[in-house]
Amino acid sequence: MQPRFKSELYSSLGLAEYQKGNLDKGIEYVEMAVELNPASARAYNNLGGLYILKNNLVKGEYFLKKAIELDNNMANAYLNLYKIYMSQNRIKEAAVAAEVAYKLGANIDPKQIQYLKQFK
């Protein structure tokens, strides 16, 4: 099996483990996905999201930024960054991330975007 396909498999297994309540095992699988395919924006986004759930926002932010570096059209990565920034009261960064996420099709209330724009 090609590393790219194996990576997708491990990423899916990681999300399945999380859904079963095994967050640490989920992270382990998605880390393996990243190792197998370091060009997978999806795997980095999944890993970032799992670290947010583990309340490790530093690692979450790092992996989400890596996902965006690989695919700057990944709305979900911007949406997750927005959540991190809001939780840390980093309003200016949250405003930018929310606006990009919204433009890429993420489900954000346009009124929230307008409110945050005043802080940019």
Residues 9-68: tens digit of each pLDDT: 999 999 999 999 999 999 999 999 999 999 999 999 999 999 999 999 999 999 999 999
Model confidence over 33-50: pLDDT tens digits?
999 999 999 999 999 999
Task: With beta carbons less than 8 A apart as the criterion, state whether 101 and 67 touch.
Answer: no
Enter the DSSP assignment of 2: -
CA–CA distance, 110 with 16 (Å, rounded to integer) = 32
Go through the domains of the chain in sequence order and give each one's CATH number.
1-71 (1.25.40.10), 72-120 (no CATH)
- Average the pLDDT over 5-12 and give the result: 91
